[in-house]
Chains A and B, each alone.
Chain A
Amino acid sequence: MPMARQSMLLWMARPARQTCRTMSTTPAGVDVRRRAMLDRIIRVDHAGELAADRIYAGQMAVLGKTATGPVIKEMWEQEKKHLAKFESLLPQYRARPSALIPFWNIAGFALGAGTALLGKQAAMACTVAVEEIIGDHYNSQIRELLEDNPELHKELLETIREFRDDELGHLETGMQNEAEQAPFYKTLTEVIKIGCRGAVWVAERV
Chain B
Amino acid sequence: MYTTDLSGKGKAETAAAEDPAMLATFEARVAADEFIEPKDWMPEAYRKTLIRQISQHAHSEIVGMLPEGNWITRAPNLRRKAILLAKVQDEGGHGLYLYCAAETLGVSRDEMTEALLSGKAKYSTIFNYPTLTWADIGAIGWLVDGAAIMNQVPLQRTSYGPYARAMVRICKEESFHQRQGYEIMMHLAAGTEAQKRMAQDALNRWWWPSLMMFGPPDDKSPNTEQSLRWRIKRDTNDELRQKFVDITVPQAEAIGLTVPDPALKWNEERGAYDFGDVDWEEFYAVVRGEGAVAKERMQARQKAWEDGAWVREAARVHAEKKAVGNRQLAVGAR
A binds B: no
Q: Which residues of A contact B (CB under 8 A)?
A: none
Q: Which residues of B contact A (CB under 8 A)?
A: none
